Amino acid sequence: MNSSGANSVDAGGAARYPGASFLASELPVPPGGVPAPGHEFFVLRPPGRKLKKYVFIQDDPFYLPKVLDKYLREHADSTAGINIQPNNQGKRTVVETALDLLKMYGPWYFQWKLRNYLIKKVQGKVINGMLGSTRRCYTVAAVARKYGVPVHFTEDVNSEQFRGLLRQLGVEFIVSISGTMLYKKDLRMQTPFGIVNCHGALLPKYRGLMPSFWTLANGEKAGGVSVHYVDRKLDNGPIVVQKRYTIHAHDTLEDIMARGKDLAAEAILEAVAKVEAGNPPMLDNPEAEQSHFHMPTKADVERFRGNGHRFF
């Protein structure tokens, strides 16, 4: 995204975190909040309190209903709503993403993935929709309905109309669970306790797209998830929680994605608990140590297979 530079210093003498385009100290102070030095967000004074939360989540039927269920089981009463975002990659449309995945995965894995996607969509429409059952949820929308949390759709979470909705709901803190949109300055400025995002890698390594694939393609022995604050740079803000898992030679991409989402649910709950307890610990996410990846090519897929891994 934006190029990095030397840290600037705010009026209080604290270093401005690379990626911060404004400081919390420049904004009105929310109840119980103190500016996080050098950052765009406030933190609560201990012992903290429940924050009015909002969730951004991708429209993915494979793993995310389970992740959202674990989150809402604990926080439905303080979650004002959920925005379900399309599952395209980066700036690509859904169709462009599907075509890129077909080229990358090849027809066998792509048709297997597509077939299972359509089956889950039909199950969701019939069981969760027509029959109205939420005993087993096949979509994130069904999970939200199970816990009585409203769902909102928008083409752009940064639009004035949607930001107005968030202000009307009194949203103080946003949890992005595998979101697919960039969260711009005006949205961040009106969310006093910040936005945290769950990224499927051990930041600062593997910023960007498809981190599970790249950890296998590059022969890593461990992967993980990071819950970090959001600023103007992609996957850049300070880390609140990071969890690690071991990668085995027999692991497939599906194995790694499933393990990562299991850890993501744990990491998100832990991060929310730390933020609401006040003065959360923050690990650095240094740009100097970052690696950034985009959509894989056929050569990358061959390297992935050369390390002994399969897609499923």
Question: How many angstroms separate the CA atoms of 189 and 40, rounded?
Answer: 7
Whether 36 maps to a domain, the answer reads: yes
Mean pLDDT of 64-76: 98
pLDDT tens digits along 189-228:
999 999 999 999 999 999 998 999 999 999 999 999 999 9
pTM comes to: 0.92
How many domains, in total, are found in the chain? 1
Whether 15 maps to a domain, the answer reads: no
Whether 100 maps to a domain, the answer reads: no
Question: How many angstroms separate the CA atoms of 169 and 81, rounded?
Answer: 8
Q: Residue 239: pLDDT above 50?
A: yes
Whether 173 maps to a domain, the answer reads: yes
Whether 99 maps to a domain, the answer reads: no
pLDDT tens digits along 177-193:
988 899 999 999 999 99
Mean pLDDT of 104-117: 91
CATH of the domain at 72: 3.40.50.12230
Task: Print the domain residue range for 192.
Answer: 24-89+139-306
Percent of the chain at pLDDT exceeding 70? 94
Q: Residue 140: pLDDT above 70?
A: yes
Whether 124 maps to a domain, the answer reads: no
What confidence score (pLDDT) does residue 305 get?
93
Mean pLDDT of 45-64: 96
Whether 179 maps to a domain, the answer reads: yes
